[in-house]
């Protein structure tokens, strides 16, 4: 963290990759940090900005359309996001962001585009869009169940040595091997859209802990959120197993 003890959260290209209210993730991180006594600053990097600073503590790359993804790769290719990632800063990539951070992606028109290569994930278009609720069980230490909403054409194959973010309980996820998302070092990618950190505060806190380099004390309201989440998750799981049941 910066010496002034302000958490600096980079919201990367929300004008290109912000289709699903991805800015909400920056707000969640900022709030959870300030509730624990460390104020936060959201550094918004637009496509009209000079460059991405490499001095931020966390980087957020959201979802978007195919065309926006090419523009984002061009903008981000050699800049501060790469340097910060290599230095170990936590990075969250969502949907289009996952594909941009990855090795490469083929879009709906059949053309293949190199990604930033910050995580070894290759995306090909699927036969139809994956749309709907997702529930996964994360294999990442301490995270547990994650929930979200997906809406994507791409199907993403993760390379050996890249950990999935979770095993799919309900929904499509990456579309290969019943896994969802990808994790490599402090780079976390997921198809759980938009403000995934609002729905999954445990993921927000994991990324905050990586940013500050120490465990954080739990927040009092977390139990209540966790209860609501567990209840909702059980309902989705039930519907998944019993699609014709009334409940």
Say what angle helices 201-212 and 222-241 make with each other, to 10 degrees: 130
By CB under 6 A, tell whether 194 contacts ligand GLN.
no
Closest to ligand GLN by CB, 176 or 238: 176
By CB under 6 A, tell whether 195 contacts ligand GLN.
no
Q: Tell the burial category of 226 from Cβ atoms under 10 Å away from its Cβ (0-12, 13-18, 19+).
A: middle
Q: Reply yes or no on whether 70 is catalytic.
A: no
With CB under 6 A, what is the number of residues at the site for ligand GLN?
A: 12
CA distance 197 to 139: 17
Q: Which has the closest alpha carbon to 174: 229, 240, 93, 111?
A: 93
Q: Which residues pair with 163 in a beta bridge?
A: 183
Long-range pairs of 212-217 with CB within 8 A, sequence gap ≥ 24 = 212/1, 212/7, 212/38, 212/57, 213/1, 216/36, 217/36
Q: Reply yes or no on whether 193 is catalytic.
A: yes
Closest to ligand GLN by CB, 125 or 164: 125
Taking the complex as a whole, how short is the minimal distance between the CB of residue 118 and ligand GLN, in angstroms? 17
Taking the complex as a whole, how short is the minimal distance between the CB of residue 153 and ligand GLN, in angstroms? 4
By CB under 6 A, tell whether 151 contacts ligand GLN.
yes
Residue nearest to ligand GLN (CB): 63
By CB under 6 A, tell whether 154 contacts ligand GLN.
yes
Q: Which has the closest alpha carbon to 8: 167, 128, 95, 33?
A: 33
Out of 95, 101, 122, 207, the only residue in the binding site for ligand GLN (CB under 6 A) is: 95
Catalytic residue among 113, 170, 193, 242: 193
The binding site for ligand GLN (CB under 6 A) comprises: 19, 63-66, 95-96, 99, 151-154
Q: Which residues are identified as catalytic?
A: 95, 193
């Amino acid at each position: 963290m910066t010496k002034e003890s302000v958490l600096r959260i980079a919201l990367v290209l929300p004008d290109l990759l912000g289709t699903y209210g991805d800015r909400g993730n920056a707000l969640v991180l900022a709030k959870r940090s300030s509730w624990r006594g460390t104020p936060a600053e959201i550094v918004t990097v637009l496509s009209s900005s000079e460059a991405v600073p490499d001095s931020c503590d966390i980087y957020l790359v959201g979802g978007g359309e195919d065309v926006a993804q090419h523009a984002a790769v061009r903008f981000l290719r050699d800049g501060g996001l790469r340097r910060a990632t290599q230095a170990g800063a936590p990075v969250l990539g969502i949907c289009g962001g996952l594909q941009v951070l990855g090795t490469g992606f083929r879009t709906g028109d059949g053309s293949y585009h190199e990604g930033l290569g910050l995580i070894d994930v290759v995306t090909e278009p699927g036969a139809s869009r994956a749309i709907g609720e997702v529930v996964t069980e994360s294999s990442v230490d301490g995270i547990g169940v994650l929930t979200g909403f997906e809406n994507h054409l791409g199907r993403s194959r993760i390379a050996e040595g890249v950990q999935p973010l979770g095993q799919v309980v309900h929904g499509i996820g990456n579309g290969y091997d019943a896994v969802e998302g990808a994790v490599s070092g402090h780079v976390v990618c997921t198809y759980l859209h938009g403000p995934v950190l609002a729905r999954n505060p445990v993921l927000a806190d994991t990324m905050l802990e990586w940013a500050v380099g120490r465990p954080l004390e739990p927040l009092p309201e977390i139990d209540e959120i966790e209860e609501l989440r567990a209840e909702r998750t059980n309902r989705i799981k039930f519907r998944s197993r019993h699609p014709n049941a009334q409940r």
